[in-house]
Amino acid sequence: MKNHTPLWEVFIRPRNGLHHKHVGSLHAADASLAIQAARDVYTRRGEGNSIWVVPSAQIVASDPQAQDEMFEPADDKVYRHPTFYDIPDEVGHM
Amino acid sequence: MAGRDELFAALLQLADDHLILGHRVGEWTGHAPMLEEDLALTNLALDLLGQARAIYAYAGQVEGEGRDEDKLAFLRLELEYRNLLLVERPNGDFAHTILRQFYFAAFMKPWWDWAAVNSTDETLKGIAGKAAKEMAYHVRHCGEWVIRLGDGTDESAARMRAAVDALHRYTAELFTDTPAFKACVDADILPARDSIRPAWDATVRMVFDEARLDVPEVPFPAQGGRDGLHGEEMGHLLAELQYMQRTYPDMKW
Protein backbone atom coordinates (compact mmCIF):
# COMPACT_ATOMS: atom_id res chain seq x y z
CA MET A 1 0.00 0.00 0.00
CA LYS A 2 2.65 2.45 1.07
CA ASN A 3 4.71 2.10 -2.11
CA HIS A 4 1.68 2.68 -4.31
CA THR A 5 0.42 5.68 -2.40
CA PRO A 6 3.19 7.96 -1.15
CA LEU A 7 2.62 10.78 1.32
CA TRP A 8 1.74 14.31 0.19
CA GLU A 9 1.67 17.58 2.13
CA VAL A 10 -1.41 19.73 1.58
CA PHE A 11 -1.53 23.54 1.50
CA ILE A 12 -4.78 25.49 1.26
CA ARG A 13 -5.39 29.14 0.52
CA PRO A 14 -8.45 30.30 2.43
CA ARG A 15 -9.14 33.41 0.35
CA ASN A 16 -7.67 35.37 -2.51
CA GLY A 17 -4.81 37.53 -1.26
CA LEU A 18 -3.85 35.24 1.61
CA HIS A 19 -1.03 32.74 1.39
CA HIS A 20 -1.34 28.96 1.22
CA LYS A 21 -1.13 27.39 4.63
CA HIS A 22 -0.08 23.87 5.55
CA VAL A 23 -3.15 21.94 6.72
CA GLY A 24 -2.00 18.33 6.87
CA SER A 25 -0.97 15.37 4.77
CA LEU A 26 -2.53 12.43 2.93
CA HIS A 27 -1.71 9.35 0.86
CA ALA A 28 -2.36 9.32 -2.88
CA ALA A 29 -1.11 7.42 -5.91
CA ASP A 30 -0.21 10.49 -7.98
CA ALA A 31 -0.49 14.27 -8.18
CA SER A 32 -3.98 14.56 -9.63
CA LEU A 33 -5.44 12.05 -7.18
CA ALA A 34 -3.63 13.90 -4.39
CA ILE A 35 -5.40 17.14 -5.39
CA GLN A 36 -8.76 15.36 -5.42
CA ALA A 37 -8.09 13.70 -2.07
CA ALA A 38 -7.05 17.06 -0.62
CA ARG A 39 -10.31 18.55 -1.88
CA ASP A 40 -12.30 15.72 -0.30
CA VAL A 41 -10.43 15.58 3.00
CA TYR A 42 -9.55 19.21 3.71
CA THR A 43 -12.11 21.46 1.98
CA ARG A 44 -15.42 19.92 3.06
CA ARG A 45 -16.43 23.00 5.02
CA GLY A 46 -15.46 25.73 2.61
CA GLU A 47 -11.92 26.06 3.90
CA GLY A 48 -10.41 27.43 0.73
CA ASN A 49 -10.33 28.22 -2.95
CA SER A 50 -6.90 26.91 -3.95
CA ILE A 51 -4.94 23.77 -3.13
CA TRP A 52 -1.25 22.91 -3.43
CA VAL A 53 0.08 19.41 -2.88
CA VAL A 54 3.77 18.58 -2.55
CA PRO A 55 5.33 15.11 -2.26
CA SER A 56 6.44 14.89 1.38
CA ALA A 57 9.69 13.31 0.22
CA GLN A 58 10.52 16.58 -1.57
CA ILE A 59 10.45 18.65 1.60
CA VAL A 60 13.85 19.38 3.12
CA ALA A 61 13.57 19.86 6.88
CA SER A 62 15.92 21.27 9.46
CA ASP A 63 17.58 18.76 11.76
CA PRO A 64 15.71 18.45 15.09
CA GLN A 65 19.04 17.58 16.73
CA ALA A 66 20.43 20.94 15.67
CA GLN A 67 17.80 23.05 17.42
CA ASP A 68 20.27 24.54 19.88
CA GLU A 69 22.61 25.97 17.30
CA MET A 70 19.85 26.87 14.85
CA PHE A 71 17.35 28.68 17.02
CA GLU A 72 18.63 29.42 20.49
CA PRO A 73 21.02 32.19 19.41
CA ALA A 74 17.99 34.30 18.47
CA ASP A 75 16.43 34.04 21.93
CA ASP A 76 18.49 36.78 23.65
CA LYS A 77 18.50 39.29 20.80
CA VAL A 78 15.40 41.17 21.79
CA TYR A 79 16.64 44.27 19.96
CA ARG A 80 15.68 42.56 16.72
CA HIS A 81 12.02 42.99 17.60
CA PRO A 82 10.58 46.35 16.46
CA THR A 83 9.31 47.16 19.94
CA PHE A 84 11.73 49.92 20.96
CA TYR A 85 9.88 52.81 19.39
CA ASP A 86 7.32 55.19 20.82
CA ILE A 87 4.49 55.39 18.38
CA PRO A 88 2.82 58.81 18.32
CA ASP A 89 -0.88 58.69 19.13
CA GLU A 90 -1.75 60.24 15.73
CA VAL A 91 -0.44 57.14 13.97
CA GLY A 92 -3.07 55.06 15.65
CA HIS A 93 -3.13 51.32 15.28
CA MET A 94 -0.13 49.87 13.48
CA MET B 1 -48.73 19.36 -22.06
CA ALA B 2 -47.36 18.06 -18.79
CA GLY B 3 -49.90 17.95 -16.00
CA ARG B 4 -49.33 17.67 -12.29
CA ASP B 5 -49.31 13.87 -12.33
CA GLU B 6 -46.73 13.64 -15.09
CA LEU B 7 -44.38 16.11 -13.45
CA PHE B 8 -44.75 14.35 -10.09
CA ALA B 9 -43.99 10.95 -11.66
CA ALA B 10 -40.94 12.31 -13.49
CA LEU B 11 -39.61 14.01 -10.35
CA LEU B 12 -39.98 10.79 -8.36
CA GLN B 13 -37.90 8.85 -10.91
CA LEU B 14 -35.23 11.48 -10.66
CA ALA B 15 -35.27 11.68 -6.86
CA ASP B 16 -35.34 7.88 -6.45
CA ASP B 17 -32.22 7.52 -8.62
CA HIS B 18 -30.35 9.93 -6.36
CA LEU B 19 -31.65 8.57 -3.06
CA ILE B 20 -30.95 4.92 -3.83
CA LEU B 21 -27.50 5.58 -5.28
CA GLY B 22 -26.70 7.94 -2.41
CA HIS B 23 -27.68 5.22 0.05
CA ARG B 24 -25.56 2.63 -1.75
CA VAL B 25 -22.48 4.87 -1.84
CA GLY B 26 -23.11 5.79 1.79
CA GLU B 27 -22.75 2.11 2.70
CA TRP B 28 -19.01 2.58 2.16
CA THR B 29 -18.71 5.06 5.00
CA GLY B 30 -16.15 3.64 7.37
CA HIS B 31 -15.31 0.75 5.02
CA ALA B 32 -13.42 2.32 2.11
CA PRO B 33 -9.94 1.04 1.18
CA MET B 34 -8.26 4.17 2.58
CA LEU B 35 -9.22 7.18 4.66
CA GLU B 36 -8.93 9.60 1.74
CA GLU B 37 -11.35 7.57 -0.37
CA ASP B 38 -13.66 7.00 2.58
CA LEU B 39 -14.19 10.75 2.77
CA ALA B 40 -14.39 11.09 -1.00
CA LEU B 41 -17.16 8.45 -1.19
CA THR B 42 -19.01 10.01 1.72
CA ASN B 43 -18.87 13.37 -0.07
CA LEU B 44 -20.28 11.78 -3.24
CA ALA B 45 -23.08 10.17 -1.23
CA LEU B 46 -23.93 13.46 0.48
CA ASP B 47 -24.11 15.25 -2.88
CA LEU B 48 -26.61 12.66 -4.10
CA LEU B 49 -28.71 12.77 -0.93
CA GLY B 50 -28.80 16.57 -1.06
CA GLN B 51 -30.04 16.43 -4.65
CA ALA B 52 -32.60 13.76 -3.73
CA ARG B 53 -33.86 15.87 -0.86
CA ALA B 54 -34.37 18.96 -3.02
CA ILE B 55 -36.19 16.97 -5.69
CA TYR B 56 -38.44 15.13 -3.20
CA ALA B 57 -39.36 18.39 -1.50
CA TYR B 58 -40.37 19.85 -4.85
CA ALA B 59 -42.21 16.65 -5.83
CA GLY B 60 -44.20 16.89 -2.59
CA GLN B 61 -45.24 20.46 -3.47
CA VAL B 62 -46.21 19.45 -6.98
CA GLU B 63 -48.28 16.54 -5.69
CA GLY B 64 -49.99 18.86 -3.20
CA GLU B 65 -51.18 16.14 -0.85
CA GLY B 66 -49.06 17.06 2.12
CA ARG B 67 -46.30 14.49 1.65
CA ASP B 68 -42.92 15.96 2.57
CA GLU B 69 -39.47 14.72 1.51
CA ASP B 70 -39.26 12.20 4.37
CA LYS B 71 -42.61 10.64 3.54
CA LEU B 72 -41.66 10.31 -0.11
CA ALA B 73 -38.18 9.01 0.57
CA PHE B 74 -38.91 6.58 3.37
CA LEU B 75 -42.56 5.57 3.39
CA ARG B 76 -43.29 4.04 0.01
CA LEU B 77 -43.43 0.39 -1.03
CA GLU B 78 -40.79 -1.23 -3.21
CA LEU B 79 -43.03 -1.21 -6.28
CA GLU B 80 -43.47 2.56 -5.89
CA TYR B 81 -39.75 3.29 -6.20
CA ARG B 82 -38.98 4.15 -9.81
CA ASN B 83 -35.16 4.26 -9.78
CA LEU B 84 -32.87 2.73 -12.38
CA LEU B 85 -31.72 -0.84 -11.79
CA LEU B 86 -28.16 0.47 -12.15
CA VAL B 87 -28.27 2.55 -8.98
CA GLU B 88 -29.58 -0.25 -6.76
CA ARG B 89 -26.84 -2.70 -7.78
CA PRO B 90 -24.83 -3.79 -4.72
CA ASN B 91 -21.51 -2.07 -4.10
CA GLY B 92 -19.40 -5.12 -4.92
CA ASP B 93 -15.73 -4.17 -4.81
CA PHE B 94 -14.33 -0.66 -5.21
CA ALA B 95 -14.18 -1.08 -9.01
CA HIS B 96 -17.93 -1.84 -9.17
CA THR B 97 -18.80 1.14 -6.98
CA ILE B 98 -16.63 3.55 -8.92
CA LEU B 99 -17.85 2.35 -12.31
CA ARG B 100 -21.53 2.55 -11.28
CA GLN B 101 -20.95 6.11 -10.09
CA PHE B 102 -19.08 6.99 -13.28
CA TYR B 103 -21.88 5.67 -15.51
CA PHE B 104 -24.50 7.61 -13.57
CA ALA B 105 -22.56 10.87 -13.28
CA ALA B 106 -21.54 10.80 -16.95
CA PHE B 107 -25.28 10.80 -17.69
CA MET B 108 -26.47 13.29 -15.08
CA LYS B 109 -23.79 15.91 -15.77
CA PRO B 110 -24.96 16.80 -19.31
CA TRP B 111 -28.59 16.24 -18.30
CA TRP B 112 -28.38 18.82 -15.50
CA ASP B 113 -26.36 21.14 -17.75
CA TRP B 114 -29.29 21.27 -20.15
CA ALA B 115 -31.84 21.75 -17.35
CA ALA B 116 -29.77 24.51 -15.71
CA VAL B 117 -29.99 26.61 -18.88
CA ASN B 118 -33.14 25.55 -20.71
CA SER B 119 -35.72 24.24 -18.28
CA THR B 120 -38.95 26.24 -18.18
CA ASP B 121 -39.37 25.18 -14.54
CA GLU B 122 -37.61 27.67 -12.27
CA THR B 123 -37.33 25.32 -9.27
CA LEU B 124 -35.70 22.60 -11.33
CA LYS B 125 -33.43 25.14 -12.94
CA GLY B 126 -32.20 26.12 -9.50
CA ILE B 127 -31.58 22.53 -8.41
CA ALA B 128 -29.82 21.84 -11.72
CA GLY B 129 -27.29 24.65 -11.36
CA LYS B 130 -25.90 23.21 -8.14
CA ALA B 131 -26.23 19.55 -9.18
CA ALA B 132 -24.34 20.08 -12.47
CA LYS B 133 -21.26 21.29 -10.58
CA GLU B 134 -21.41 18.38 -8.16
CA MET B 135 -21.82 15.87 -10.97
CA ALA B 136 -18.87 17.37 -12.86
CA TYR B 137 -16.69 16.44 -9.89
CA HIS B 138 -18.16 12.93 -9.72
CA VAL B 139 -17.29 12.37 -13.39
CA ARG B 140 -13.77 13.63 -12.82
CA HIS B 141 -13.11 11.69 -9.62
CA CYS B 142 -14.61 8.40 -10.78
CA GLY B 143 -13.18 8.77 -14.29
CA GLU B 144 -9.67 9.12 -12.86
CA TRP B 145 -10.18 5.95 -10.82
CA VAL B 146 -11.55 3.98 -13.79
CA ILE B 147 -8.44 4.95 -15.72
CA ARG B 148 -6.06 4.03 -12.90
CA LEU B 149 -7.72 0.71 -12.14
CA GLY B 150 -8.24 -0.26 -15.78
CA ASP B 151 -4.69 0.66 -16.75
CA GLY B 152 -3.16 -0.37 -13.41
CA THR B 153 -1.96 -3.73 -12.13
CA ASP B 154 -3.13 -7.10 -13.50
CA GLU B 155 -5.46 -7.46 -10.56
CA SER B 156 -6.98 -3.97 -10.75
CA ALA B 157 -7.49 -4.34 -14.53
CA ALA B 158 -9.22 -7.72 -14.04
CA ARG B 159 -11.51 -6.22 -11.40
CA MET B 160 -12.35 -3.25 -13.60
CA ARG B 161 -13.18 -5.55 -16.54
CA ALA B 162 -15.37 -7.65 -14.25
CA ALA B 163 -17.22 -4.50 -13.17
CA VAL B 164 -17.81 -3.50 -16.80
CA ASP B 165 -19.11 -7.02 -17.57
CA ALA B 166 -21.46 -6.88 -14.59
CA LEU B 167 -22.79 -3.32 -14.94
CA HIS B 168 -22.75 -2.26 -18.57
CA ARG B 169 -26.02 -4.06 -19.32
CA TYR B 170 -27.80 -1.73 -16.87
CA THR B 171 -26.80 1.44 -18.72
CA ALA B 172 -29.37 1.31 -21.54
CA GLU B 173 -32.10 2.12 -19.00
CA LEU B 174 -30.46 5.53 -18.44
CA PHE B 175 -31.74 6.62 -21.84
CA THR B 176 -35.32 5.36 -21.61
CA ASP B 177 -38.06 7.98 -21.31
CA THR B 178 -41.38 6.91 -19.77
CA PRO B 179 -44.63 8.51 -21.06
CA ALA B 180 -44.82 10.84 -18.02
CA PHE B 181 -41.22 11.84 -18.54
CA LYS B 182 -41.86 12.47 -22.26
CA ALA B 183 -44.72 14.80 -21.39
CA CYS B 184 -42.30 16.89 -19.31
CA VAL B 185 -39.77 16.79 -22.13
CA ASP B 186 -42.38 18.08 -24.58
CA ALA B 187 -43.11 20.96 -22.19
CA ASP B 188 -39.37 21.82 -22.09
CA ILE B 189 -39.28 21.15 -18.37
CA LEU B 190 -36.81 18.27 -18.63
CA PRO B 191 -34.23 17.23 -21.23
CA ALA B 192 -35.02 14.00 -23.10
CA ARG B 193 -32.96 11.17 -21.71
CA ASP B 194 -32.16 9.73 -25.15
CA SER B 195 -30.74 13.12 -26.19
CA ILE B 196 -27.94 12.59 -23.63
CA ARG B 197 -26.68 9.45 -25.39
CA PRO B 198 -24.00 11.09 -27.57
CA ALA B 199 -22.47 13.00 -24.65
CA TRP B 200 -22.50 9.90 -22.44
CA ASP B 201 -20.99 7.72 -25.17
CA ALA B 202 -18.21 10.26 -25.73
CA THR B 203 -17.34 10.50 -22.02
CA VAL B 204 -17.35 6.73 -21.52
CA ARG B 205 -15.34 6.10 -24.68
CA MET B 206 -12.73 8.70 -23.75
CA VAL B 207 -12.20 7.26 -20.28
CA PHE B 208 -12.35 3.62 -21.43
CA ASP B 209 -9.73 4.32 -24.13
CA GLU B 210 -7.35 5.64 -21.51
CA ALA B 211 -8.24 2.81 -19.15
CA ARG B 212 -7.66 0.19 -21.90
CA LEU B 213 -11.18 -1.09 -21.46
CA ASP B 214 -13.54 -2.22 -24.22
CA VAL B 215 -17.09 -0.90 -24.40
CA PRO B 216 -19.04 -4.17 -24.52
CA GLU B 217 -21.94 -5.02 -26.80
CA VAL B 218 -25.07 -5.68 -24.77
CA PRO B 219 -27.61 -7.79 -26.69
CA PHE B 220 -30.14 -7.94 -23.81
CA PRO B 221 -30.06 -4.83 -21.64
CA ALA B 222 -31.63 -5.05 -18.17
CA GLN B 223 -34.63 -2.78 -17.62
CA GLY B 224 -37.56 -2.53 -15.24
CA GLY B 225 -36.71 -0.05 -12.51
CA ARG B 226 -38.89 2.67 -14.04
CA ASP B 227 -41.86 0.31 -13.72
CA GLY B 228 -41.02 -0.54 -10.12
CA LEU B 229 -39.65 -3.99 -11.03
CA HIS B 230 -36.49 -4.22 -8.98
CA GLY B 231 -33.81 -6.80 -8.31
CA GLU B 232 -33.94 -8.86 -5.15
CA GLU B 233 -31.26 -6.69 -3.49
CA MET B 234 -33.67 -3.74 -3.47
CA GLY B 235 -35.75 -5.21 -0.64
CA HIS B 236 -32.71 -5.46 1.61
CA LEU B 237 -31.69 -1.90 0.73
CA LEU B 238 -35.14 -0.54 1.56
CA ALA B 239 -35.32 -2.47 4.83
CA GLU B 240 -32.24 -0.61 6.01
CA LEU B 241 -33.14 2.71 4.40
CA GLN B 242 -36.65 2.82 5.84
CA TYR B 243 -35.94 1.32 9.25
CA MET B 244 -35.86 4.56 11.23
CA GLN B 245 -39.01 6.13 9.77
CA ARG B 246 -40.92 2.86 10.06
CA THR B 247 -39.84 2.30 13.66
CA TYR B 248 -40.23 5.93 14.77
CA PRO B 249 -42.83 7.46 12.42
CA ASP B 250 -42.40 11.19 11.81
CA MET B 251 -39.03 11.17 13.56
CA LYS B 252 -36.95 14.28 12.90
CA TRP B 253 -33.31 15.06 13.57
B34: contact with A, CB 8 A cutoff? yes
What is the average pLDDT score of chain A?
91
| Structural domain includes residue A54 | yes
Q: Are B41 and B29 in contact (CB under 8 A)?
A: yes
Q: Which residue among B34, B35, B144 places its CB closest to the CB of A36?
A: B144
Does residue B37 sit at the A interface (CB-CB below 8 Å)? yes
pTM (predicted TM-score): 0.91
How many domains is chain A partitioned into structurally? 1
Burial class (CB in 10 A: 0-12, 13-18, 19+), B124: buried
Whether B39 and A40 lie within 8 Å, measured CB to CB:
yes
Residue B89 φ/ψ, nearest 5 degrees: -60, 140
- Considering the domain boundaries, does residue A41 fall inside one? yes
Identify the CATH number of the domain in which residue A25 sits.
3.10.20.520
What is the rounded CA–CA span in Å between residue B173 and residue A32? Answer: 32
A83 within domain boundaries: no
Lowest mean pLDDT among A4-8, A22-26, B172-176, B233-237: A4-8
Judge whether B221 lies within some domain: no
Supply the range of the domain harboring residue A25: 7-62
Asked, for residue B253, whether it belongs to a domain, the answer is no
Number of domains chain B is built from: 1
Q: Is A31 among the domain residues?
A: yes
Binary contact (A40, B36; C-beta < 8 A): yes
Convert the pLDDT of each residue in B114-133 to its tens digit: 999 999 999 999 999 999 99
Nearest CA-CA distance, residue B176 and chain A, Å = 33
Query: What DSSP designation does A22 have?
Result: E
- A94 occurs within a structural domain: no
Q: Is B35 on the interface with A (CB under 8 A)?
A: yes
Is there a domain that residue B219 lies in?
Answer: no
pLDDT of residue B33: 84
Angle (CA) B115-B24-B30 rounded to 5° is 125
* Average pLDDT across chain B, whole number: 96
d(CA A87, CA B38): 54
Cβ contacts of residue B41 below 8 Å, gap of 6+? B25, B28, B29, B32, B97
Can you give the residue range of the structural domain that contains B97?
4-214+227-247
Residue A26: its H or E element: strand A21-27
The ipTM of this complex is 0.82
Q: For B22-38, how does the pLDDT look when each residue is reduced to its tens digit (9 = 90+)? A: 999 999 999 998 999 99
Asked whether the beta carbons of B177 and B192 are under 8 A apart, the reply is: yes
In a domain, A23, yes or no: yes
Q: Of B34, B43, B144, which has the smallest distance from its Cβ to A32's Cβ? A: B144
**CATH (domain of B93):** 1.20.1260.10
Residues of A near B (Cβ–Cβ under 8 Å) read 1, 5, 26-30, 32-33, 36-37, 39-41, 44
CA distances from B216 to B143, B163, B239 (A): 18, 12, 34
